[in-house]
Structure 1
Amino acid sequence: MDHIVLAAAEGETHSPVLPVWSEVILALIVFAILFVLMRKFVVPNFEKTFAERTQAIEGGLSAAESKQAEADAKLAELEKQLADARHEAARIREEAREQGAAIIAEMREQAQAESTRIVEHGKTQIEAERQQAVTSLRAEVGALATSLAGRIVGESLDDEARQSRVVDRFLTELEAHNGTGSTSGSVN
């Protein structure tokens, strides 16, 4: 109300609905100066800051994408290495099984060969001992047969040739008798 009273006192009649043109012009000039200053100094700084932040964000995103791509590549490489290691381990296990089977077969073969060699050696040794026993028995039986025959006949059979013929004939008859009879008989 004081404003109306002042305006009436000055002699002007001013409508409260209509603006005062001098204030409007002054406000437009101040607005234009502020607009120019804002446009010249503040807006470029905002745009510069906005551009820097945009670049930083885009750079961060691209860096993150490249790091993600590197991580994916490393993960794929590690997975490939793990798969290769698993295949290598399976191959090594298979080789070990095959080598184990080969070693077992070789050891069996060696054991069989050693067993055969021992059996053959035993047979050879038994044959040699049998031949030695037969020779020893022939000599003993021959001496006993000659002595016995000499006692029965009443003459001495000291002649080597005669003694040998008598022993051979006796052993031949004994072998013929053992060949046709039982083989479990023994000579005392």
Structure 2
Amino acid sequence: MPVLEVNLGPLLPHYLSEVIMGALLMVVIYVVMRAKVVPAFEKMYEERRAAIEGGMEKAEAAQREAEEALAQYRAQLADARTEAARIREDAKNQGAQILAEMREEAQAESERIRSQARAAIEAERSQVVAQLRAEVGGLATTLAGRIVGESLQDDERARRTVERFLADLESQPAQGDGVAQRSGSTAL
């Protein structure tokens, strides 16, 4: 069997000291890497992991805050709608109350105007009745003086005659009013 010969060329160490020195350098590199580089990588990895987890926690916290704010907003919106409905209802009730008060005031004013009108009509009626009595009395005195043939210019006698005549007119029922109207129309 042939022997396989491997030629490594320049990579093959010639001396044992090169192998020991290579091994020693490997151990030193390993120790330096383990003491300095690996902790730096671990620290950087931990910082990145913490930053990512912190960012995720912040995002989750922000999400919770947003949900809470949304819930508060919806509650406030519902409260505002309830308040708006209550305000509308109050305004409607106040409007109805104001309308009722205005109607009452209008009715009271109308009644006051009617009362004043009645009083004015009654006063005017009394004034007209007094004027008519004076005119009818004067006409009756003149007419009676012509009929009797003597002057009834005596104020006291004329006043009594007129009062008696008017009292007779007032004491007669509705039929008497028709007679007075007929006799007054024939006298003219």
TM-score normalised per structure 2: 0.74
Deviation at 1:6, TM superposition (A): 7.1
Alignment of 1:75-94 (within 5 A): 75-94=70-89
Mapped pair 1:122 → 2:117? yes
Counterpart position of 1:170: 165
Distance 1:137 1:6 in 2: 165
How well do the aligned residues superpose, as a CA RMSD in angstroms?
Answer: 3.0
User: Which amino acid letter does the alignment assign opposite residue 83 of structure 1?
Assistant: A
Counterpart position of 1:180: 174
Distance 1:120 1:91 in 2: 43
Deviation at 1:97, TM superposition (A): 1.1
User: Which amino acid letter does the alignment assign opposite residue 99 of structure 2?
Assistant: I
Deviation >2 Å, runs of 4+ = 2-7, 32-50, 182-188
CA contact (8 A) 2:141 2:158 kept: yes
Aligned with residue 153 of structure 1, among 148, 153, 165: 148
Alignment of 1:21-40 (within 5 A): 33=27, 39-40=34-35
SS in 2 for 1:181: helix
The unaligned stretches of length 5 or more in structure 1 are 8-25
- Aligned residues with identical type, % of pairs: 53
TM-score normalised per structure 1: 0.74
- For these two proteins, the number of residue pairs brought into alignment is 167
Distance 1:6 1:63 in 2: 62
User: Which amino acid letter does the alignment assign opposite residue 140 of structure 1?
Assistant: E
CA contact (8 A) 2:169 2:176 kept: no
SS in 2 for 1:4: coil
Which range moves more in the overlay, 146-155 or 36-45?
Answer: 36-45
Mapped pair 1:107 → 2:85? no
Which range moves more in the overlay, 128-137 or 94-103?
Answer: 94-103
The unaligned stretches of length 5 or more in structure 2 are 8-18
